[in-house]
Amino acid sequence: MATKIVAYRADNNLSQTQFGRMLGMTQPAIARLEGGEDTPTLKTLARISSATGMEFHVAIGPSGIGLAAA
């Protein structure tokens, strides 16, 4: 997911600060998402999807939670 966010920002010539403003998030929060430091909440995924049109697929199973960006 982090690589999809970075690619979206690059494709749209957005800084982390600009992207954060689109999402109502801070630049450090965007940096943590892109660095894989934070697992995004469903609310955050919905916010990103709404602002960018990206789709996310969440799988919950015995081995934990999996997340993929489509």
Domain spans, the chain:
2-69
| Phi, psi (rounded to 5 degrees) for 43 | -60, -45
> 10 or 67: which carries more pLDDT confidence?
10
What is residue 38's predicted lDDT score, i.e. its pLDDT?
Answer: 78
Contact between 49 and 56 under an 8 Å Cβ cutoff? The reply is yes
What was the pLDDT predicted at 50?
95
CATH pick for 2-69 out of 1.10.260.40, 3.40.50.2000, 3.90.1150.10, 1.10.3720.10: 1.10.260.40
* pTM score of the predicted model: 0.80
Judge whether residue 30 has pLDDT over 90.
yes
